[in-house]
Structure 1
Amino acid sequence: MKIFNFKLTIFLITVIFGVIFAIPSLFQTNYGKKINLGLDLQGGLHMLLGVNTHEAVSSKIKSIATAVKYFSDDEELLIDGLTILEDSIFFSVLDKDEMPKMDKMLQEISGLDVSKKDLDYTIKLTQEEVIKTKDYSVAQAVETIRNRLDQFGLSEPTVLRQGESDIVVQLPGIKTAEDEKAARDLISKPANLELMAVDEDRMEQVYNMTSSQAAAYGNLILEDTNDPNRKYLVKEIPILDGSQIVDAQVGFSQSNQPIINFTLNSAGARIFGDFTAKSVGKRLAIVLDGKVYSAPNINERIGGGSGQISGGFTVVEAGNVAIALRSGALLASVTLLEKRSVGPSLGADSIQASMIALVSGTVLIFFFMLIYYRRAGFIANIALISNIFILLAVIALFGATLTLPGMAGIILTIGMAIDSNVIINERIREVLRSGASAAKAIEDGYSNALRAIIDANVTTLLVAIVLYAYGSGAIKGFAVTISIGVLTSMLTAIIGTHGIYQAILPKITKDKDNKKWFGVK
């Protein structure tokens, strides 16, 4: 008797694969890939953030003003009154013959609405560029927050855009108030680094000056990060911003205090070197998120494109700031709109309830199949158990995150898997009732059931694909488990059980007892 056949061999290989790769998740071993549990199963933090998109427009205007200033300095083009007011840039070119140079430079920047009157320039962003900038700021915030959380070491964070300007952040595994605060600080930190020139001529007047008076001179009044009573008067147009940073690492000063060493790209290094060469004897303020961390004197030209930030950091604070700088500054700040904490005990209750549903449903199906279909039901139960192992193995290998809707998808998959076996067994029983042999009944049964099974499963698979494409995080989890379950159930029901029947067909034929094998006289 030939026991092994092609279909049975494929089935056994997939079962062995399923058992091996499902064990780490089932028994939580120290080796192998495991299924990641979602927020609703292991507890954690859920936040809804709003992106202040208008700040991105202001930031872009400021960067354009910085480019105008650097261009005029580099080309020795004399301009006067460079100021920013209500998302518009104003300045005057002192030499009419130099205006073509400025016009050419501005034409290279897309999305500008430039108006001129005599020697005066007014620059705004076009309405299309404003919409584009706001949209990009939200997309950039999603990517930046995700990068920060990945570098922070949180496992499987979920960061998704919702609507025009909102972001959903889910952080499984956040269990303490300290972890929650660290994650929130890291997410919301703009990490907007600016190198700004100190206005040495008016610095002594800073304590007697209002913000509007400072703005009249094109300046800003900023506080010291360690002493709010200490103020600096800096030029409104920064020399450099965080977009030129390529790396940031934690270091220690000579007094063993944590500092942040940053490195600029080639363009930033050139601008930094040129500015420090022209500003020997003056001070350069290092500003992070609107506060001055230090304002060292420039003693000589600083080449190499590197610098450092010191300001009384703890080691943890310095590490988080370095992560934020490496992953990029947020183009616009984010506001916490909603926060929900899911305790680990609630997640454990969800898992327990899901497991009760899974086990009880499986046991009831087992008994029904054994009583109604006899040994054919036993074969179907083997396929069902194999299907569960293979499903868990594939979820673990793909690194998918299992949520409560995903658990519901697994339970539903069990019903779908046994449904395929019910269709096959009923088709076999129909042929047996007509008086055909067991061999013919098995082959005709699978042939007749195949179309119905494929139609039903392909329809379900298409719906799952649509749910995954257009659904939110929880719906995606359900769609993933259903999709994998559909494919594994077809494998075990169509190929697996057929291979088993082909292997034991001589035994079925010899017994000539359809009641014992298929539950039919």
Structure 2
Amino acid sequence: MKKLNYRLVIFIFAALFGIAFTIPSFIGKEPKVNLGLDLQGGIYLVLGVKGDEAVKSKIKTFASTIKYITNKKEIFIDNLKVNNKTLSFELIDKDDAPKMDEILKKLKGTQVIKKHTKEGILYIVKLTPKEIEKTREDALNQAIQTIRSRLDAFGLAEPSVTKQGKDKIVVELPGIKTQKEKNSIKKLISTSAHLELYAVDDEHKAVTPKDAAKYGDILLPSKDNPNRKYLLKTPPVLDGSMITDATVGFTQKTNQPAIFFTLNSQGAAIFGDFTGKNVGKRLAIVVDNKVYSAPVIQERIGGGSGQITVGSPEEAHVLAIALRSGSLPAPVILLEQRSVGASLGADSIKKSLIALISGFVIVVIFMAWYYNLAGIIADIALIVNLFLIIAIMALFGATLTLPGMAGIVLTVGMAVDANVIINERIRELIREGKNIKTAIEGGYKNAMSAIVDANITTLIAAIALFAYGTGTIKGFAITMAIGILASMLTAILGTHGIWEYLLAGGKKITPKHFGMKA
């Protein structure tokens, strides 16, 4: 034990760590390295996010808030209208202007225009340019989070959801093979799940959207019969942002599949007040601009809960996940779709392994032949380096992609490169007449600055690739970065520790052990 040094002890622990966390990946147990889309097959989707719809949705939410607060405080307004990026209404009693101004001050990111009319005061509320840009950006980020939550809830392993540009999302789903799975996933991703509750306008009739607009209403189709239209009062009573939970079940009377949703405290208060004041009138339940049902309110509904009847249990399952995960703040459209077959992934793995193994074997043989014992020690460090890369990726749940395997192949060359520099420095000192121990210490010392500088610059490049690259480039960057850090431990610290151990044990080291002639 006295012959052991701290460098060798660290190297041994690193080797044991690498082996312990690499074995599960080969026997299919956790923690293991996940295979990417290009290695196990699946689907690749590019989605576009309609940011303008998020802006419209925010304006509609403001309109609902204004209507709720003014009703509660008995401030009378008329002609509340939502038009794209603005909303407008008339304040009947001018004396209520201070109260109205106070309410509008709490709507962040808005600018208010006031115009005095014969009837009262016309208010025009619109988002500031900065708030519009922020809303679009928030919509993209929230869409990424929502889609990721839905895929996790659906039970998919290793989904990748990343931002591309200012309004696109890239979704990579390894392991999706059947057409049924693909259709379910696409429906789950693209469903906005934007729940809204509207009061049905039974007092007027309208055939076209223009007719509806005259009354400040909108026309929306029935989910089951697109030809059947409902005339609904705007703004909506409340929206899906107030949902806290959604579960699948069956209705008591008809035993139809249904989604039972629960609202937060604010939503429950709005829902209770509205149903209490509108007994005998109809309330439409709208999801993604389609009317699912429009039941008559029989009594005040407290507790903040409701139900949506759907066609099938499968539909209920997908919609419940979407509602539970949160509605998409803006609709998404499918811009690109690519399928990668499992056979193509298997072929990629086979060819990559051939490249990795053949490259590894050639390097190992060359190092042992050219540097003798020094080459064998470098090969031991290289083997431990590979174990460490796989172990660290498995431990952090990283995904191995085809470019990632290319990064491992590149790391094999980079790992022995450090030992080549060290061994050449040692050989130079031996030629100068230094004894073996002095030559080894001097070789490591002289080579250190060149090795560290080279590895740091490469690591910076890997970090930049990870920060600004897309999914496949990130895979390459991850494996290269891990490989660089592992090689610093194995090729420098580990091999140095082995030489110190051999010298302390009294082994006679000669120039032959570095591939030199005696």
Same fold by TM (over 0.5)?
Answer: yes
Pick which of 70-79 and 131-140 moved more.
131-140
**Cα distance in 1 for residues equivalent to 2:229 and 2:459:** 63
- Structure 1 position 353 matched with structure 2 position 351: yes
**Cα distance in 1 for residues equivalent to 2:513 and 2:68:** 90
> 1:384 offset after TM fit, Å?
0.9
Misfit runs of 4+, over 3 Å: 506-510, 516-520
Query: Match for residue 44 of structure 1?
Result: 42
Which residue identity does 1:174 align to in structure 2?
A: I
Map 1:32-71 → 2, pairs under 5 A:
32-71=30-69
Which residue identity does 2:309 align to in structure 1?
A: S
**Cα distance in 1 for residues equivalent to 2:488 and 2:337:** 42
Which residue identity does 2:108 align to in structure 1?
A: S
**Cα distance in 2 for residues equivalent to 1:121 and 1:67:** 15
- Structure 1 position 439 matched with structure 2 position 441: no
Which residue identity does 2:516 align to in structure 1?
A: G
- Structure 1 position 311 matched with structure 2 position 310: yes
**Cα distance in 2 for residues equivalent to 1:158 and 1:395:** 16
Which residue identity does 1:493 align to in structure 2?
A: A
Query: Match for residue 93 of structure 1?
Result: 91
CA contact (8 A) 1:294 1:311 kept: no
Q: Taking structure 1 as reference, are residues 470 and 520 closer, same or farther at Cα in structure 2, changes over 3 Å only?
A: farther
- How many residue pairs get aligned? The number is 513
**Cα distance in 1 for residues equivalent to 2:50 and 2:504:** 73
CA contact (8 A) 2:217 2:234 kept: yes
Which residue identity does 2:315 align to in structure 1?
A: E
**Cα distance in 2 for residues equivalent to 1:198 and 1:22:** 62
CA contact (8 A) 1:421 1:493 kept: yes
Q: Taking structure 1 as reference, are residues 520 and 391 closer, same or farther at Cα in structure 2, changes over 3 Å only?
A: farther
- Structure 1 position 520 matched with structure 2 position 506: no
Which residue identity does 1:240 align to in structure 2?
A: L
> 1:457 offset after TM fit, Å?
1.2
- Structure 1 position 264 matched with structure 2 position 263: yes
> 1:147 offset after TM fit, Å?
1.5
**Cα distance in 2 for residues equivalent to 1:350 and 1:167:** 25
Q: Taking structure 1 as reference, are residues 439 and 241 closer, same or farther at Cα in structure 2, changes over 3 Å only?
A: same
- Structure 1 position 153 matched with structure 2 position 176: no
CA contact (8 A) 2:44 2:170 kept: yes
**Cα distance in 2 for residues equivalent to 1:150 and 1:133:** 25
CA deviation string 1:317-376 (max 9, x = no partner): 111111111111112111111111111111111111111111111111111111111122
Q: 3-state SS of the aligned residue for 1:237?
A: strand
The counterpart of 1:413, out of the listed 405, 411, 414, is 411
CA contact (8 A) 1:439 1:509 kept: no
The counterpart of 2:182, out of the listed 168, 180, 196, is 180
> 1:149 offset after TM fit, Å?
1.4
CA deviation string 1:214-255 (max 9, x = no partner): 111122222221233433221121001001111111122224
**Cα distance in 2 for residues equivalent to 1:220 and 1:516:** 87
Q: 3-state SS of the aligned residue for 2:236?
A: coil
Map 1:135-154 → 2, pairs under 5 A:
135-154=137-156
Map 1:246-395 → 2, pairs under 5 A:
246-254=244-252, 255-312=254-311, 314-395=312-393
> 1:157 offset after TM fit, Å?
1.6
Q: 3-state SS of the aligned residue for 1:493?
A: helix
Q: Taking structure 1 as reference, are residues 321 and 427 closer, same or farther at Cα in structure 2, changes over 3 Å only?
A: same
Query: Match for residue 136 of structure 2?
Result: 134
> 1:389 offset after TM fit, Å?
0.7
Query: Match for residue 489 of structure 2?
Result: 491
Query: Match for residue 169 of structure 2?
Result: 167
Q: 3-state SS of the aligned residue for 1:282?
A: coil
Pick which of 463-472 and 296-305 moved more.
463-472
Q: Taking structure 1 as reference, are residues 435 and 126 closer, same or farther at Cα in structure 2, changes over 3 Å only?
A: closer
RMSD: 1.8
Q: Taking structure 1 as reference, are residues 520 and 451 closer, same or farther at Cα in structure 2, changes over 3 Å only?
A: farther
Map 1:77-88 → 2, pairs under 5 A:
77-88=75-86
> 1:285 offset after TM fit, Å?
0.8
- Structure 1 position 460 matched with structure 2 position 462: no
- Structure 1 position 21 matched with structure 2 position 21: yes
CA contact (8 A) 1:211 1:221 kept: yes
**Cα distance in 2 for residues equivalent to 1:507 and 1:111:** 74
> 1:117 offset after TM fit, Å?
2.2
CA deviation string 1:60-83 (max 9, x = no partner): 111111112112211112222222
Query: Match for residue 126 of structure 2?
Result: 124
Q: 3-state SS of the aligned residue for 1:167?
A: strand
Which residue identity does 2:294 align to in structure 1?
A: A
Q: Taking structure 1 as reference, are residues 477 and 86 closer, same or farther at Cα in structure 2, changes over 3 Å only?
A: closer
TM-score under structure 2 length normalisation:
0.95
CA contact (8 A) 1:429 1:520 kept: no
Q: 3-state SS of the aligned residue for 2:152?
A: helix
> 1:441 offset after TM fit, Å?
2.1
**Cα distance in 1 for residues equivalent to 2:82 and 2:2:** 86
Pick which of 84-93 and 343-352 moved more.
84-93
> 1:471 offset after TM fit, Å?
2.0
**Cα distance in 1 for residues equivalent to 2:513 and 2:458:** 34
Query: Match for residue 220 of structure 1?
Result: 218
CA contact (8 A) 1:43 1:344 kept: yes
**Cα distance in 1 for residues equivalent to 2:128 and 2:498:** 70
**Cα distance in 2 for residues equivalent to 1:28 and 1:143:** 32
CA deviation string 1:102-121 (max 9, x = no partner): 12111221222322222222
**Cα distance in 2 for residues equivalent to 1:60 and 1:159:** 25
Map 1:179-198 → 2, pairs under 5 A:
179-198=181-200
**Cα distance in 2 for residues equivalent to 1:57 and 1:223:** 23
> 5+ residue gaps in structure 2?
none
Which residue identity does 1:159 align to in structure 2?
A: V
Q: Taking structure 1 as reference, are residues 285 and 6 closer, same or farther at Cα in structure 2, changes over 3 Å only?
A: same
> 1:435 offset after TM fit, Å?
3.0
**Cα distance in 2 for residues equivalent to 1:22 and 1:240:** 52
Identity %: 57
CA contact (8 A) 1:438 1:508 kept: no
CA contact (8 A) 1:2 1:503 kept: no
**Cα distance in 2 for residues equivalent to 1:394 and 1:109:** 48
CA contact (8 A) 1:115 1:123 kept: yes
CA deviation string 1:248-296 (max 9, x = no partner): 1112222432211111111111011100110011111111111111112
> 5+ residue gaps in structure 1?
none
> 1:2 offset after TM fit, Å?
4.9
